[in-house]
Chains A and B, each alone.
Chain A
């Protein structure tokens, strides 16, 4: 029983937005948003480095709050301290957007079939069908 119908709001995706927090509170809020986001983000660090990847965990409390990220194109994970983050850009596609049950039902039959066919084609191309 793996199903869970995600009824999160369709509107208000953060895709394309950039957060430049001015203080630790705003930074913590931005990291929370990025942790909830089902897409890649791009972090700009104090060192000047930029990292694109998926934030899968964060530890907002303790003496040195940090986040964990799977960098795109790399195997391992990176641990980055909150204090090293200058900005967070929601650069990757929001993979959860438009995927709720309500959105599915609201779509026309033709759209549903096209979406389903595309998912099938992708799975087939990977040898998963």
Chain B
């Protein structure tokens, strides 16, 4: 079991509470992007291309805490940019932990070892390390030699000090399944708590047929990566989401499941598309035309199978019915069935 029982309990309690209250759309993971500046310039990353004066802007701790309180999601993920660049990040994390939010601090780990003293191990804090494969693939993906080795060193140091550590991996069409499986072996051998995987998001104005094939290719890739799964592999995410990636089940996107807050405000409609910003979370939920988004409804969503849209769909499936719960139990206990 990759996710601790206490965290699972809080998430289950939260989801069931929303159901009892009759809330149709509820957030599961709040994504806070406290800054866009990064110390890497990964090829094709669409998150950090802004003028210098925008890259210099940062959310304050108070803004981050207020967003977490207003949103109410039990889990807060902090991507970026590189969050460890933010001088007030330890304070931001402390405040979120005090609010009993399960924080996933996403980092490329270049600065992690140097900054570890500024954080305290907690069941509420997880360092989620960006690792896109073995050394060759990862250093190619981040466009800099030596980053894989630095990240592995930092992971070891964080684990030694008692921090929760997971990895997050984005796979694209060019991934080699056998190399990815070898990468899983490596990460588990390091001793990480669990791994998170997702396909990348690629926006291309292409004919529908091409998009359809692309989605199929994603399913084929993940089926090859995740079939005949080794017992030692632990994934820090919904087992039904993994089955979705493998093409074993289909979901509609749940863009409100992972709302995004950054220096521009609350991003409409999701972490990946930038169609505008709301001043408050309430405004985001009330004013976004959610029916305009998702595969089959919007060309920008045609290829998307990304975790920020579909992991919440999988969780909703789990708690939406007894059969969904049964599917989850089966997928957890018998991943290769």
Contacts and interface: CB of A to CB of B under 8 A. Distances in A.
B259 interface: no
Interface in B38-66: 38-47, 49-51, 53-54, 57
Contacts of B110: 129
A54 B51 contact: yes
Interface residues of B, number: 48
A4 B143 contact: no
A116 B49 CA distance: 15
A4 B47 contact: yes
A117 to B, nearest CB: 9
Nearest to A102: B44
A44 B243 CA distance: 53
Contacts of A116: 41, 143-144
B85 interface: yes
A128 B201 CA distance: 27
Contacts of B40: 119, 123
B51 A119 contact: no
Contacts of A2: 45, 47, 79-80, 106, 130
A92 interface: yes
Nearest to A2: B79
Q: Which of B45, B141, B168, B307 counts the most chain A CB atoms within 10 A?
A: B45
Given A3-B170, A116-B143, A120-B144, A100 B307 contact: no
A73 B110 CA distance: 30
Nearest to B262: A56
Given A3-B45, A38-B49, A70-B57, A129 B106 contact: no
Contacts of B170: 1, 3
A8 B46 CA distance: 10
Interface in B178-235: 196, 198, 200-204
A38 B47 CA distance: 11
B276 interface: yes
B200 A4 contact: yes
A39 B51 contact: yes
B307 A54 contact: no
A7 B204 contact: yes
Nearest to A128: B39
A1 B46 contact: no
Interface string A40-81: 100000000000011011110000000010101100000000
Interface in A106-125: 112, 115-116, 119-120, 123
Given A38-B50, A70-B53, A72-B51, 11 more contacts: A1-B307, A2-B130, A3-B47, A7-B204, A53-B53, A54-B54, A68-B277, A70-B57, A92-B51, A99-B43, A101-B202
Name the 7 nearest CB pairs between A and B, nearest first. A101-B44, A6-B46, A104-B43, A119-B41, A5-B44, A123-B39, A128-B39
Interface of A: 1-8, 38-40, 53-54, 56-59, 68, 70, 72-73, 92-93, 95-96, 99-102, 104-105, 112, 115-116, 119-120, 123, 128-129
Interface of B: 37-47, 49-51, 53-54, 57, 79-80, 82, 85, 106, 110-111, 130, 132, 141, 143-144, 168-170, 172, 196, 198, 200-204, 264-265, 272, 276-277, 306-308
12 contacts: A2-B47, A2-B80, A3-B132, A6-B44, A7-B204, A56-B54, A56-B264, A59-B276, A93-B51, A99-B49, A100-B44, A116-B144
